[in-house]
Amino acid sequence: MKIAIVTTKVPFLYGGAEFLADSLCSKLSEYGHQSQVISYPFAWVPKEAILDSIMATKLSVIDNTDLVIALKFPAYYVKHPKKKLWLLHQFRQAYDLHNTEYGMFSDSNPSDVAIRQAIKTMDNKVLRDLEGKIFTNSKVVSDRLFKYNGIKSEVLFPPLMDASIYKVTGECGDYIFYPSRVNHSKRQWMVVEAMRYTKSAVKLVVAGKGDSPDDEKFLMELIEKYSLQDKVTYLNRFISEEEKVTLFEKALAGIYVPFDEDSYGYVTLEGFQAGKAMISCKDAGGTDVVVKDGETGYMTDSTPEAIAEAMDKMYLNKPKTIEMGLNGLPLLEKLGITWDNVIRRLTE
């Protein structure tokens, strides 16, 4: 099948959504389809540009294509007889972000009210027509879609792009591994602080560049302040995929504790691919989909003390930790977090 993945982009930016579009494209090719990513430029300044962008996309015609998979607002407005949605997010400023500090429309400005209303009305119509063919990448997005538009959808979790580079070696080291960009909301700082409270010989390895130099400095100062140099290693640089694989394979377990994210994060999937149990926090957002307390890892309160306790448990009962690590992959299988499942649902 010839499959066009249509999405929206801000020129010169490449982020998670662009990566997912490219991943889906290469996976579709692996599964024998012909696939191509089509990205429409999207602008929201001035605010009228949002409506222009909707119209521009609506008037675009996709020829020579059997199936269109749309990922983002307003790419799903594109004209095609066979269209499915794998929605990564709506235009949140018109919905859940409205009247928060991240919103952009004022209820007292008639023009703002009209634009926001137009977005909602057009969304309702186009989404209603697609009902039954709408997937989202997380429960949060599905919930929002139902809450604000009354549209039902099915969650189709995005799998790891290249799982084949990981293997379960059975090695079991003495450190917990946290690979991720370093910033305040990923809360590496909380994990470093947890190391003040551990009672066992468990160690911590944090790897990743800071979003800003200050983010890195903050972590390094914490380590120094509490004299944690012997227990905590911080690799403040970009680490290669190979390096990440090796660090995961030699680890005791992994940890991923961002604040209130929509999805479970690729880090948790990487940990499972390496056969490692994962620690996460109850307020991390989507991680609870895959990190099941006592089954594939530990879900703790978001305090250094609670995290420390989970780390000690991991270290002191290694057979249980190893067993939980091995439960990860079967759980992903059960939840349909596999490309087999994603490709089947999107193309059937």
48 vs 243 by CB, closer to another protein: 48
CA distances from 128 to 122, 132, 150, 307, 347 (A): 10, 9, 9, 44, 20
10 vs 335 by CB, closer to another protein: 10
Give me the helix-helix angle, 339-347 and 16-30, nearest 10°. 80
H, E, C per residue of the chain: CEEEEEEEECCCCCCHHHHHHHHHHHHHHHCCCEEEEEEEECCCCCCHHHHHHHHHHHCCECCCCCEEEEEECCHHHCECCCEEEEEEECCHHHCCCCCCCCCCCCCCCHHHHHHHHHHHHHHHHHHHHHCCCEEECCHHHHHHHHHHHCCCCEECCCCCCCHHHCCCCCCCCCEEEEECCECHHHCHHHHHHHCCCCCCCCEEEEECCECCHHHHHHHHHHHHHCCCCCCEEEECCCCCHHHHHHHHHCCCEEECCCCCECCCCHHHHHHHHCCCCEEEECCCEHHHHCCCECCCEEEECCCHHHHHHHHHHHHHCHHHHHHHHHHHHHHHHHHCCCHHHHHHHHHC
The distance of closest approach from Cβ of residue 15 to another protein in the complex, given in angstroms and rounded to an integer, is: 14
The distance of closest approach from Cβ of residue 338 to another protein in the complex, given in angstroms and rounded to an integer, is: 27
The distance of closest approach from Cβ of residue 144 to another protein in the complex, given in angstroms and rounded to an integer, is: 26
List residues binding another protein (CB under 8 A).
2, 4, 10-12, 34, 36, 38-41, 43, 45, 49, 52-53, 55-65
The distance of closest approach from Cβ of residue 79 to another protein in the complex, given in angstroms and rounded to an integer, is: 9
The distance of closest approach from Cβ of residue 54 to another protein in the complex, given in angstroms and rounded to an integer, is: 9
The distance of closest approach from Cβ of residue 60 to another protein in the complex, given in angstroms and rounded to an integer, is: 5
54 vs 324 by CB, closer to another protein: 54
Q: Which residue has the tokens 């709408």?
A: 134
79 in Cβ contact with 58 (< 8 Å)? yes
20 in Cβ contact with 87 (< 8 Å)? no
78 vs 251 by CB, closer to another protein: 78
The distance of closest approach from Cβ of residue 52 to another protein in the complex, given in angstroms and rounded to an integer, is: 4
Q: Which residues pair with 133 in a beta bridge?
A: none
77 vs 298 by CB, closer to another protein: 77
The distance of closest approach from Cβ of residue 156 to another protein in the complex, given in angstroms and rounded to an integer, is: 23
Q: How far is CA 279 from its chain centroid?
A: 16
The distance of closest approach from Cβ of residue 209 to another protein in the complex, given in angstroms and rounded to an integer, is: 21
34 vs 317 by CB, closer to another protein: 34
64 vs 108 by CB, closer to another protein: 64
62 vs 245 by CB, closer to another protein: 62
11 vs 319 by CB, closer to another protein: 11
